[in-house]
Amino acid sequence: MEIKGRKAEILISEKDIKNKVKQLAKDIASDFENKEILVVGILKGAFIFTADLVRELQEYLNVKIDFIQVSSYHTGMESSGEVIFVKDMSIDIKGKNVLIVDDIIDTGRTLEALVEALKQREPNILKTCVLLDKKERREVNYNADFVGFVIPDKFVIGYGLDWAEEGRAFKDIYAIV
């Protein structure tokens, strides 16, 4: 496959993603032990993963859903580490069991800052789930509670992840060569 004049190779197949989402749902349900859970998807990249995960979680838990959109790239292409809420949640998380769902963690700065900001809102439980983890790029000592796949330091698209708004709807995850 080619996108924007660059070759893209399948890194993770649709089948492998589906199997992983089912396993993550089982792991999360076991960890939350029949509690009601508020799943908060981070827009835009995690919207497909969040939808699939919520459908699987619904078999085990009472699930509510909300979305948040954050940015930490207000100083150009480098992350500032400071989270700006572009779209905030509509549900108050105080006293709730919250699972933040993101598409990918690399440096860890954005997710770490988001978790610290949300702790100020006093949730009962606050955990994180990411589909992809680029451990090689980690700049802070932060790891998600639930991780789908550890991947190499490659630029990836598909299954919600994009390249300048292209490639989000691909069913597989591709690495740009």
- Annotation says 106 is catalytic: yes
Answer yes or no: are the C-beta atoms of 130 and 148 closer than 8 Å.
Answer: yes
Q: Helix, strand or coil for residue 161?
A: strand
Q: How do beta strands 6-12 and 37-43 pair?
A: unpaired
The CA distance from 126 to 142, in Å, is: 14
The CA distance from 133 to 147, in Å, is: 7
Query: Which is the catalytic residue, given 106, 133, 153, 162?
Result: 106
Q: Helix, strand or coil for residue 105?
A: strand
Q: Which of 16, 4, 47 is nearest to 161 (CA)?
A: 47
At position 5, the amino acid (one-letter code) is G
Asked whether the CA dihedral 128, 172, 157, 135 is positive or negative, the reply is positive
Angstrom CA distances, 173 to 97, 98, 104, stand at: 30, 27, 12
Q: Which residues are catalytic?
A: 106
